[in-house]
Amino acid sequence: MVEAAAVRMNVVIRPARADEGARLKEIAAGAKGYWGYERVKVREWADQGDFTPERLRELIVFVADSGGRAIGWCSLIPKDEVVWLEDLWIEPEWIGMGIGSLLFRQAVDHAKALGAERLEWEAEPNAIGFYEKMGGTYVRESEESEWGRRLSVMGARLDA
């Protein structure tokens, strides 16, 4: 199982530090670009304001750390009985090694600890298979998202 690889490589999950916003933005841009979207579009998307230090301070952010270096991250927004998974990004060289699973599990555990009933998120189309492996299912179509797309909102019950 790939998650075991992440554990073997001593990847730990920890809260984000206040000074690593630029690194988290770099990881998000690299991860988004992994799916082959135009570089200029990805750069514009990363620069639009979602990854400023001010914005990141509004989120609950967990970082996957290898030897002191951030290699992936996720963020959460509590919304009553639902916790919204706002971000999940893995540095391309680390994709397929179980880091996404570790971060997703952290998101589930934290949402449960907050007393939420469900975790929900807007799924990048190329990542739907990953989320299905994590137990996620289709909930509804999203509002208009980046690049005018409507995406699948997926979710998972937290008592399962």
Ligand X SMILES: CC(C)(COP(=O)(O)OP(=O)(O)OC[C@H]1O[C@@H](n2cnc3c(N)ncnc32)[C@H](O)[C@@H]1OP(=O)(O)O)[C@@H](O)C(=O)NCCC(=O)NCCS
Minimum CB separation of residue 126 from ligand X in Å reads: 5
CA distance 63 to 83: 18
- Nearer of residues 13 and 88 to ligand X, judged by Cβ: 88
> Under DSSP, is residue 65 helix (H, G, I), strand (E, B) or coil?
strand
Minimum CB separation of residue 130 from ligand X in Å reads: 4
Tokens for 66, please give them. 């290898």
Residue with tokens 């570790």: 102
- Nearer of residues 32 and 110 to ligand X, judged by Cβ: 32
Minimum CB separation of residue 97 from ligand X in Å reads: 5
Minimum CB separation of residue 56 from ligand X in Å reads: 16
Compute the radius of gyration of the chain from its Cα atoms: 15
Q: What are phi and psi of 52, to 5 degrees?
A: -75, 155
Do residues 18 and 55 lie in contact, with contact meaning Cβ atoms separated by under 8 Å?
Answer: no
- Nearer of residues 115 and 129 to ligand X, judged by Cβ: 129
Strands 118-123 and 60-66: unpaired
Positions that interact with ligand X (CB under 6 A): 1-3, 31-32, 34, 88-90, 95-101, 123-124, 126-127, 129-130, 133
Longest C-alpha distance within the chain, in Å?
A: 41
- Nearer of residues 2 and 115 to ligand X, judged by Cβ: 2
